[in-house]
C-alpha cells in the first residue's frame, strides 16, 4: 500500500490517508456568510471523493475581516447551525473537516466588509484605498474574534481549526516587513512581527483547549521586496512548535507577488517542476518537529508519494486539482494513478465571479462545446 494511504493521527484526529483539501474559497455561502445546502453538498462530495481531511474556505472571524462576497462566515453564533450541517454531512461520508479562520486585514475594502480596512501599518493598496494602522484595542479585539470563532468551530462539530497566516491576509501582513512598518513591539525583528500571530494562536488554544487540533497556514516566503523570508518562516514555525501548534501548512506568495501568487498558473509542467515550495519544505523538515502539510502545484501521484517517502512532507494538500476532480483521491486509490487533469489555469475563479459558485471552467467550456 502506498504511504499516502496510510492512516495517521493528528493530535488524536484519525485521518484515513495523507491527502488534504487545501482551503478553497467557493463563493457559495449566503450573502450573510451562512453555510448553504449547496456548499454543504460540495464538502460532502469532496469527502465522498476520498480526501482524508478537508479544510474549509477562509471563513471570516469578524465582519471587518471579510474579504469577498459569498464568503463563509464564522463570526457569529447564528452561523453555527449551518456549519453543523456541513460537518455532519462530511462525517457521514467518513471524512474529517477543519475550519479555516481568517481575517483579510488590509486586503479588503469598505465595499465588501462595510468597514475601514485594518492592517499592521497604514498601507496604500495597489488597487487604491488605504488601510488604517491597528492599535492595541484592535489587536485585542481581533485576537478575541479568532478565539470566539474557534469555539464556534468546535461547537459546530469541526475536527479542528486552521489559522490563516498566509497569502497576505492580516496575520501574514504582520509577519511581512513589506506590509508591517511598525516601530513598536509588533514590528522590526521577526520576534516582534510574530507577536500578534502568537497572540492569536494563544487565544485560539485558550478557547478550544489542549486536546483540540489547531493548525496554521504560513507562507514559505512572500516573494515580495522586503517580504517575509524562508528563514523567518522556519524561526516562526519553531516558535509555534514550542507553543504546541499541531500542524503547519506551507504555502507562499500574496496577491502582490506577481507570477508567484499562491495559485500559480502553469499548464502541464514536468513532474520535477510541480512542487512550488519543495526547497522550503526540505529546510523546514531539518529544523521543525511538527507535521508539515505541503500545498502548491502538486498534481502527480508519484510526486506526492515521493514527498512523503523522502520525508519532505507529512501530508499533501490540493486545491485546484480537486475542483476539477473531486474524486481524484478515490481514483488514485482505485489504481488509476494518472496525473490530475487540472491545468492549474486559474479559470476556476470565473464561475465565482459570475456568482455561480466554484467549478472547473475548462470542463464547463468542454460541456458547452458539446451541446
Ligand atoms: C479558487 C481558489 C480559492 C482559494 N481560496 C483559498 C482560501 O480560501 N484560503 C487559502 O488559504 N487558500 C486559498 N486558495 C489557495 C489554495 O489553498 C492553494 O494554496 C493554492 O491554490 C495552491 O495549491 P494548488 O496548486 O493545489 O491549487 C485558493 C485557491 C483557489 C484556486
318-366 residue pLDDT tens: 999 999 999 999 999 999 999 999 999 999 999 999 999 999 999 999 9
Q: Which CATH architecture has domain 3-339?
A: Alpha-Beta Barrel (3.20)
Tell me, what's the pLDDT at 68? 95
Positions marked catalytic: 169
Which atom of ligand 1 lies closest to the CA of 295? Answer: 23
Do 77 and 32 contact (CB within 8 A), yes or no?
A: no
Averages of pLDDT over each 10 residues, the chain, 371 residues: 96 97 98 98 98 98 96 98 98 98 92 92 72 95 98 98 97 96 97 98 96 98 97 98 98 94 82 90 98 97 98 98 98 97 96 96 93 83
pLDDT in tens, 32-50: 999 999 999 999 999 999 9
Cell of 262: 499562491
Cell of 41: 453538498
Q: Please, which residues bridge with residue 216 across strands? A: 163, 248
Do 78 and 149 contact (CB within 8 A), yes or no?
A: no
Q: Which residues line ligand 1 (CB under 6 A)?
A: 22-25, 57-58, 100, 164, 166-167, 217, 251, 262-263, 295-297, 318-321, 344, 348-349, 358
Nearest CA to ligand 1 atom 20: 263
Q: How far is the CA of 296 from the centre of ligand 1 (A)?
A: 8
Cell of 360: 472547473
User: Where are the extended beta strands (E) located within 183-308?
Assistant: 214-219, 247-251, 292-295
Q: How far is the CA of 59 from the centre of ligand 1 (A)?
A: 13
Q: How far is the CA of 57 from the centre of ligand 1 (A)?
A: 8
Which atom of ligand 1 lies closest to the CA of 57? Answer: 8
Which atom of ligand 1 lies closest to the CA of 346? Answer: 31
Probe residue for ligand 1, chosen from 24, 255, 361 as the CB with the greatest number of ligand atoms within 8 Å: 24
Residue 103 phi, psi (nearest 5) = -140, 125
> Global pTM?
0.98
Q: How far is the CA of 22 from the centre of ligand 1 (A)?
A: 6
Nearest CA to ligand 1 atom 25: 297
Do 116 and 110 contact (CB within 8 A), yes or no?
A: yes
Question: Whose CA is closest to 236, among 171, 175, 303?
Answer: 175
Beta-sheet strand order (sheet of 130-133):
118-119, 130-133, 123-124
Which atom of ligand 1 lies closest to the CA of 102? Answer: 9
Tell me, what's the pLDDT at 87? 98
Q: How far is the CA of 24 from the centre of ligand 1 (A)?
A: 5
Amino acid at each position: 500500500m502506498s504511504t499516502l494511504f496510510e492512516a495517521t493521527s493528528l493530535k488524536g484526529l484519525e485521518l484515513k490517508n495523507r491527502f488534504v483539501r487545501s482551503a478553497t474559497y467557493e463563493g457559495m455561502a449566503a450573502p450573510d456568510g451562512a453555510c448553504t445546502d449547496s456548499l454543504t453538498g460540495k464538502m460532502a462530495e469532496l469527502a465522498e471523493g476520498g480526501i482524508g481531511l478537508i479544510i474549509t474556505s477562509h471563513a471570516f472571524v469578524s465582519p471587518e475581516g471579510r474579504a469577498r462576497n459569498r464568503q463563509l462566515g464564522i463570526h457569529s453564533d447564528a452561523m453555527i447551525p449551518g456549519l453543523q450541517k456541513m460537518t455532519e454531512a462530511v462525517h457521514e461520508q467518513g471524512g474529517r473537516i477543519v475550519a479555516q479562520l481568517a481575517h483579510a486585514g488590509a486586503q479588503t475594502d469598505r465595499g465588501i466588509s462595510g468597514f475601514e480596512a485594518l492592517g499592521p501599518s497604514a498601507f496604500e493598496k495597489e488597487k487604491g484605498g488605504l488601510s488604517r494602522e491597528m492599535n492595541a484595542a484592535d489587536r485585542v479585539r481581533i485576537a478575541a474574534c479568532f478565539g470566539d470563532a474557534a469555539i464556534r468551530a468546535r461547537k459546530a462539530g469541526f475536527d479542528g481549526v486552521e489559522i490563516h497566516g498566509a497569502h497576505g491576509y492580516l496575520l501574514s501582513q504582520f509577519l511581512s516587513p513589506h506590509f508591517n512598518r511598525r516601530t513598536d513591539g509588533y514590528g522590526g525583528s521577526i520576534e516582534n512581527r510574530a507577536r500578534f500571530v502568537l497572540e492569536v494562536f494563544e487565544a485560539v488554544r485558550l478557547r478550544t483547549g489542549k486536546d483540540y487540533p489547531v493548525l496554521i497556514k504560513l507562507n514559505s516566503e512572500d516573494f515580495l521586496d522586503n517580504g517575509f523570508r524562508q528563514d523567518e518562516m522556519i524561526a516562526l514555525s519553531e516558535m509555534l512548535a514550542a507553543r504546541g501548534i499541531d500542524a503547519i501548512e506551507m504555502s507562499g506568495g500574496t496577491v502582490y507577488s506577481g507570477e508567484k501568487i499562491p495559485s500559480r498558473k502553469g499548464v502541464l509542467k514536468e513532474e520535477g517542476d510541480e512542487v512550488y515550495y519543495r526547497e522550503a519544505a526540505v529546510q523546514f523538515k531539518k529544523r521543525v518537529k511538527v507535521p508539515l502539510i505541503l500545498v502548491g502545484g502538486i498534481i502527480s501521484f508519484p510526486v506526492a508519494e515521493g514527498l512523503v517517502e523522502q520525508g519532505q512532507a507529512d501530508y499533501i494538500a490540493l486545491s485546484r486539482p480537486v475542483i476539477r476532480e473531486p474524486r481524484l483521491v478515490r481514483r488514485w486509490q482505485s489504481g488509476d494513478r494518472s496525473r490530475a487533469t487540472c491545468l492549474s489555469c486559474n479559470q476556476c475563479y470565473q464561475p465565482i465571479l459570475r456568482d455561480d459558485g466554484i467549478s472547473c471552467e475548462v470542463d464547463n467550456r468542454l460541456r458547452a462545446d458539446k451541446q
